[in-house]
Chains A and B, each alone.
Chain A
Amino acid sequence: MALYDSFSDGDVSAPPVITLKSRDGKIVTAVQIIEKLSVFYTHKDGNDEKDYEDASGFNLDTLLFSIADGATESIFSREFANMLVESFVSTKELTEALTEYGSAKSLKNMLESAIERVKARWGLMVAGKSLPWYAQEKVEQGAHTAFLGLRIVPIVVSGKKGISRYLTPWHSRYIDCTLKWEASCVGDSCLFIVRGDILIKSFPIETAAGFDNTPYLIGSVGAMDNRTIFVDSGYLAGGDCIYMLSDALAAWFLKSCEAGQMPWKVLASIGSNDEFQAFVVALRESKELRNDDSTLVSISIVKQVKS
């Protein structure tokens, strides 16, 4: 499958400029940038809803989004996945970093910080439990999760420079900016970016054959191998759609692409969690989708409002 590369940091092409409505000459990020945001999920067939071990979260103030996929075979992974998602999207340093473009810590460092905070929290949580021998041993092995984090960084390219990159004249109804995306992940939860009818980014796995049963995972105990954190970045254009999928759904997505289909069209048409659950059940019954917890976060970027 050929992937059209999106604009990346090292690309000599100019990134797309998107014109947004402004309010008092400022970007009010989520309102102007995100046209639609959906979060859908369902648990494995044969399990209870309470056994769902994926997690997802977002913060529209900082334009941070994440999904995590807690490993079934380790203990208290659901809690670990949820803590990591929550910690990542509410990272305080990140909020501060975003107020000054150019001084933002790298997303990889942000994830590393979130992991360390969450490992300590998870350790405190399990330390308070009275557990039988087998649960104690599993706790010593730790919880594990895959993780994918995304942030969208608006960078104003019009307006007064030298005061703040975020400001344009107060009376301006429109504002020109580029939208940078940055993603950081460990494991096989995937990010897809679709522009028009073309898949322009598949991260970190690019082919359906790239999935196996032993993905990199973040552990709640022991040292983290930071080489397992993968990062990527690029620029968005108006009308782009971003999909964040846990592994089973991501594998189906890539397989469909490889068969010449456009799986994002059916994902974009899903309007409720009930519809999503019915869609997943149908795919499982036709053996197109592995029976696993399934999570979809979809983000539609506004189209250009002024040419």
Chain B
Amino acid sequence: MYDAEISRNNPGCFLFLIDQSGSMGDPFGGNQAVSKSRGVVDAINKLIANLVLKCTRDDGIRNYFEVGVIGYGNPDVAPAFTGNFSGQELLQIEAIGNNPLRIEERTQHVSDGDGRTIEKTIKFPIWFEPVANDGTPMCKAIDYARSILARWVKEHPNSYPPIVINITDGDSTDGNPVPHSIDLSRVSTNNGNVLFFNVHISSQSAVPLLYPDSDVSLSEQHGKTLFEMSSLLPESLTEAARKEGYDVKPQTRGFGFNADLVSLIKFVDIGTRVGTLR
């Protein structure tokens, strides 16, 4: 299980669920200058760009992945792509890569190889803008993801199982999301069940907890709930997390708590390392 090769005939699928509730307008990780909604869209834009780059070959972008982004809380649950892609649930990675809303130039600090840090201008494609409104209908978002993926697995029975990554800053406002998560995780391909990973982002400057194997160190109930909702990491992703220095164990789950921007990107980057692209 969880060993299917990803190819253009058997693509992989990533579905991001993005909390766009009012509290996402609060500062991110103790940084007053950046809201959580701004931090999350920066991370999502960066992660989508990384997925495009993973699929880039000499002949262009190969359709190894289908990607969807669902926003919840603004004011309801809906696909988050805008412009030409408005209303579309899943898109082929080639279409996404070739159609950002715009490409910004940003300054990045990088090592020059001699121990010095230099400024470098990089191209930063934008597909999403920050949004922060209303409540947190997480249960409805999870059900929506299940309906999208139930259709997708019928069309791709031999593919690597879809990976759903939920990024949120707090409690569900439409009920207990755990039963909904169980239903989502029952959706499967011949290669395994849907993987549901959850990452909690914080307004506070706190030590992030990534890829834990138990909820004992979590004092807040919504942290325990998100842990319970999260899938066990399959072996290939366990290995990826271990290579990044995480102390992963057999019961390690795809869960992060109190993530800041850096750990959020790292969390999702590890969670999307799904092996060889053919």
Give chain A's interface residues, CB within 8 Å of chain B. Answer: 44-47, 51, 72-73, 75-76, 78-79, 132-138, 213, 222-223, 291
Contact = CB atoms under 8 A, between A and B. Distances in A.
A44 B5 CA distance: 12
Contacts of A47: 278
Interface in B39-75: 49, 52-54, 56-58, 60-61
Contacts of A137: 49, 53, 122-123
A46 B58 contact: no
A133 B123 contact: yes
Interface class of chain B by DSSP: mixed
Contacts of B113: 222-223
A135 B56 contact: yes
A46 B278 contact: yes
11 contacts: A72-B57, A132-B98, A133-B100, A134-B49, A134-B61, A135-B60, A137-B49, A138-B53, A138-B56, A222-B113, A291-B278
Interface of B: 5, 7-9, 49, 52-54, 56-58, 60-61, 97-98, 100, 103, 113, 122-123, 125, 276-278
Contacts, number: 47
Contact of A291 (B5, B8, B57, B61): B5
Interface class of chain A by DSSP: loop
Contacts of A132: 60, 97-98
B103 A133 contact: yes
B52 A134 contact: yes
A210 to B, nearest CB: 17
A78 B53 contact: no
A75 B278 contact: no
Given A134-B97, A136-B123, A73 B5 contact: no
A76 B53 contact: no
Given A46-B278, A133-B123, A75 B5 contact: no
A44 B57 CA distance: 15
A56 to B, nearest CB: 19
A72 B268 CA distance: 22
